Amino acid sequence: MVTGGAGYVGSHTTLVLLQAGYQVVVVDNCINAKPPQPPSHLPPSLERVRKLVATSTPPSLHFYHLSLQDRQQLRMVFDKVMNEVGCRVLVFSSSSTVYGPATYFPTDEDHPTGPAITNPYGRTKYFCEQVMKDVAAQDKRWSVVVLRYFNPVGAHSSGLLGDDPVTGRPVNLLPSLAHVAAGRKKVFHIFGEDWDTPDGTCIRDFMHVMDLAEGHVAALEHAHTHTGASVFNLGRGEGVSVRQMIQAFERACGCSLPCEVVCRRAGDVRRTTCSGDRAKAVLGWRPYRTLDDMCRDSWLFQVNNPHGY
Task: Measure the CA–CA gap between 306 and 309, rounded to whole angstroms.
Answer: 9
What pLDDT score does 82 carry?
A: 75
Specify whether 119 is located in the same domain as 212.
yes
Indicate if 45 and 150 belong to the same structural domain: no
Is residue 31, in this structure, part of any structural domain at all? yes
How far, in Å, CA of 297 to CA of 301, rounded? 6
Answer yes or no: do 226 and 251 share one domain.
yes
User: Which pLDDT tens digit goes with each residue over 103-147?
Assistant: 999 999 999 998 788 889 999 999 999 999 999 999 999 999 999
pLDDT in tens, 145-182: 999 999 999 999 999 999 998 877 788 899 999 999 99
Cβ atoms of residues 148 and 96 within 8 Å: yes
Identify whether residues 96 and 71 lie together within a single domain. Answer: no
Q: Angle between the 242-253 and 173-181 helix axes, to the nearest 10 degrees? A: 40
Question: Residue 266: its pLDDT value, please?
Answer: 87
Instruction: Say if residue 218 is in the same domain as residue 255.
Output: yes
Counting residues of the chain whose pLDDT is more than 70, the rounded percentage is: 98
How many other CB atoms sit within 10 Å of the CB of residue 274?
30
- C-alpha distances out from residue 5 to 29, 52, 56, 69, 292, Å: 10, 15, 20, 16, 26
Determine how many CB atoms are found less than 10 A away from the CB of residue 188: 19
- Residue 139 inside a domain? The answer is yes
On whether both 17 and 108 belong to a single domain, the answer is: no
Burial of 198 by CB count in 10 Å (0-12 exposed, 13-18 middle, 19+ buried)? exposed
Contact residues for 254 (Cβ-Cβ < 8 A; gap 6+) = none
Residue 213: what are its φ and ψ, rounded to 5°? -60, -40
| 283 and 227 assigned to the same domain | yes
> Is 309 a domain residue?
no
Contact at 8 Å (CB) between 237 and 205?
Answer: yes
Task: Go through 141-172 and write b for each residue having 16 or more CB atoms within 10 A of its CB, e for each that does not.
Answer: ebbbbbbbbbbbbbbbeebbbbbbeeeeebee
Q: Specify whether 74 is located in the same domain as 11.
A: yes
pLDDT confidence of residue 80: 67
Same domain, 5 and 62: yes
The average pLDDT across 4-27 equals 96
Instruction: Please give the pLDDT value at position 117.
Output: 87
Asked if 148 and 273 sit in the same domain, the reply is: yes
Q: What is the pLDDT of residue 106?
A: 97
Strand duo 240-241 + 203-204: pairing: antiparallel
CB-count exposure of residue 55 (10 Å: 0-12, 13-18, 19+)? exposed
Count Cα neighbours of 87 within 13 Å in the Cβ-side half-sphere: 11
pLDDT for position 56: 66
Q: Is the pLDDT of residue 15 over 80?
A: yes
In this predicted structure, what is the pLDDT of residue 257?
A: 98
Please check the confidence at residue 59 and state whether its pLDDT lies above 90: no
Domain end residue (candidates: 60, 83, 106) = 83
Is 105 among the domain residues?
yes
Give the pLDDT band (50/70/90) at residue 4.
very high
Domain boundary among 49, 83, 117: 83
Q: Calculate the alpha carbon distances from 43 to 67, 170, 275 in Å.
A: 15, 19, 35
Residue 251 lies in a domain: yes
8 assigned to active site:
no
Domain membership of residue 273 (yes or no) is yes
Looking at the structure of the chain, the number of domains it has is 2
- 204 and 231 inside one domain: yes
What confidence score (pLDDT) does residue 163 get? 94
Spell 276-287 as b/e; 16+ CB within 10 A means b. bebbeeebebbb
Rounded to an integer, what distance in angstroms lies between the CA atom of residue 31 and that of residue 155? 20
Boundary-marking domain end, from 29, 55, 83 = 83
Q: Which of 8, 121, 126, 288 is catalytic?
A: 121
Residue 23: give its domain's CATH number: 3.40.50.720
How far, in Å, are 9, 28, 165 from residue 34 at the CA level?
14, 10, 8
State whether 158 and 188 are in the same domain. Answer: yes
Weakest mean pLDDT among 81-85, 117-121, 208-212, 249-253: 81-85
- β-strand partners of 109: none
Tens of pLDDT, residue by residue over 208-237, are: 999 999 999 999 999 999 999 999 999 999
- Residue 15 lies inside a defined structural domain of this protein: yes
Q: Which range marks the domain in which residue 148 is found?
A: 88-304
